[in-house]
Amino acid sequence: MKKIVLALGLMSLAALANAADPLNGTTWKTIDDKTKQPKAIVKFTEQKNGTLSASIQSVLTPGEENACKKCEGPYHNKSLKGLRIVTGLKNVGGTSYENGSILDPQSGKTYKLKGQIADGGKKLELRGFIGVAALGRNQTWIRAN
């Protein structure tokens, strides 16, 4: 009987370990794809529906921390700190993600998003695009924690 209880306990722990998404709870330094300069620190959080979102924890570019002036709807003139810039990102296997969206606070535009964790978890390679992924921009974020 003890062996059965131990086996069930180990299987439960293994199931919980597999359920945790590798991005959940991690923080990343965003790097501007044009200037190659750090822009912000963002943190990923898993939502109840299993998708991931990411919010700005701190802005690294002086003078840009105040508001999302070009954003529309509920984000218009909101502080960048705490702003949710990634929504709906879904793990599609291992370290690959798709079906998300990302808000560019500089332009106020929202793009479709896909990406993958790379370099042993040290980098997050993202592709933001409108329509098809071939017509988009790449960014590589660096793990901050």
pLDDT tens across the length of the chain (145 residues): 555 544 444 444 433 444 589 999 999 999 988 888 899 999 999 999 999 999 999 999 877 777 788 888 888 888 899 999 999 999 999 999 999 999 998 888 999 999 999 999 999 999 999 988 888 889 999 999 7
117 within 8 A of 6, measured Cβ to Cβ = no
Residue 72: what pLDDT? Answer: 82
Domain map (residue ranges) of the chain: 21-143
Tell me if the domain spanning 21-143 has CATH number 2.40.128.520.
yes
- Indicate the pairing of strand 96-104 with strand 27-31: unpaired
